[in-house]
């Protein structure tokens, strides 16, 4: 008998968001995306409105001030495990960020939802790769303290998809495009080829994620009748606490939808 796959809907996204266990959340996101690919997305009527309930996450890792996260020296397995853990934590948050964008901003076109569900699928694969690498290094997700900066920015942009697209994918996630090449070089010096292989996949796929943020930011600006470049730079100055630090991965940022004017301005903010 042929199995009939039903279209995914908002309640399915909410279920993924609420899942606490990282491995179960990743598996649920992968299954959700398989349904979207097979049968599409049917918005329907979600059973509950989008609110400020935080997404599910495990009791560990301990969340601390970013200044209290220990430095990661890559000359030892423990140091490399701490680095992999930090990146895994970013990817776990990124799963929730992508799901939250799809779940929260229901006035956006269906293409917006599908784009961010595809990002959630990528992030779930990234987290799974890094969790496997952590296990090879004798650790598990939760073994090291972490900070919550990504989700704090999500909370500050819950009321406006324009601000969310500007300040999460185009600021916080774009930072990964800048710093990952340097991490790869440090790992190459340490001879850690398995971690390098994972980071190379993540770096390439994150370009698309930031580009999706750029594209929908431009769309939001068009709907609001404002100039994207001017609006982005204004939001950086007024909403983002602290300077965006270089050096910048200009080729990757250009592929991800940054303009020359924006990149020039980033150097001077």
d(CA 120, CA 97) in angstroms, rounded, equals 8
For 32-43, write each residue's pLDDT tens digit: 999 999 999 998
pLDDT value of position 2: 52
pLDDT value of position 204: 96
Q: What angle (nearest 5°) sits at the alpha carbon of residue 253, between those of residues 215 and 221?
A: 30
Q: Which CATH architecture has domain 60-266?
A: Up-down Bundle (1.20)
d(CA 64, CA 145) in angstroms, rounded, equals 7
Structure-token pair, residue 38 = 């097979």
Structure-token pair, residue 42 = 């049917």
Under-50 pLDDT residues of the chain: 1
Q: How far is CA 93 from the centre of its chain?
A: 6
Write the DSSP string, the chain: -PPPPPPB-HHHHHHHHH--SHHHHHHHHHHHHHHHHHH-B-----SS---SPPPP--S-SPB--GGGSPP--TTSHHHHHHHHHHHHHHHHHHHHHHHHHHHH-TTS-HHHHHHHHHHHHHHHHHHHHHHHHHHHTT--TTSS-B--HHHHHHHHTTT-HHHHHHHIIIIIIHHHHHHHHHHHHHHHHHT-HHHHHHHHHHHHHHHHHHHHHHHHHHHHHHHHT--HHHHHHHHHHHHS-S---S---HHHHHHTT--HHHHHHHTT-
**Where are the domains positioned within the chain?**
60-266
d(CA 235, CA 172) in angstroms, rounded, equals 13
pLDDT value of position 1: 45
Contact call for residues 60 and 20 (beta carbons, < 8 A): no
pTM of the model as a whole: 0.95
pLDDT value of position 3: 59
């Amino acid at each position: 008998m042929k199995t009939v796959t039903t279209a995914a809907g908002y309640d399915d996204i909410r279920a993924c968001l609420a899942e606490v266990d990282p491995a179960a959340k990743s598996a649920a996101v992968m299954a959700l995306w398989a349904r979207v690919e097979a049968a599409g997305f049917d918005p329907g009527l979600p059973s509950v409105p989008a609110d400020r309930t935080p997404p599910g996450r495990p009791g560990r890792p301990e969340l601390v001030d970013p200044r209290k996260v220990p430095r990661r020296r890559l000359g030892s397995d423990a140091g490399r495990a701490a680095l992999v853990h930090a990146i895994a934590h970013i990817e776990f948050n990124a799963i929730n960020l992508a799901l939250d964008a799809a779940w929260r901003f229901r006035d956006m076109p269906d293409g917006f939802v599908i784009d961010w569900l595809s990002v959630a699928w990528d992030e779930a694969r990234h987290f799974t790769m890094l969790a496997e690498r952590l296990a090879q290094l004798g650790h598990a997700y939760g073994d090291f303290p972490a900070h919550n900066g990504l989700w704090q920015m999500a909370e500050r942009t819950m009321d406006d998809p324009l601000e969310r697209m500007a300040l999460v994918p185009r600021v916080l996630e774009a930072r990964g495009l800048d710093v990952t090449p340097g991490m790869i070089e440090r790992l190459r010096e340490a001879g850690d080829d398995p971690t390098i292989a994972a980071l190379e996949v993540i770096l390439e796929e994150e370009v698309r994620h930031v580009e999706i943020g750029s594209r929908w930011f431009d769309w939001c600006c068009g709907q609001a009748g404002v100039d994207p470049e001017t609006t982005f730079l204004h939001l950086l100055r007024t909403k983002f606490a602290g300077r965006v630090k270089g050096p910048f991965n200009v080729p990757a940022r250009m592929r991800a939808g940054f303009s020359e004017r924006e990149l020039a301005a980033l150097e001077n903010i």
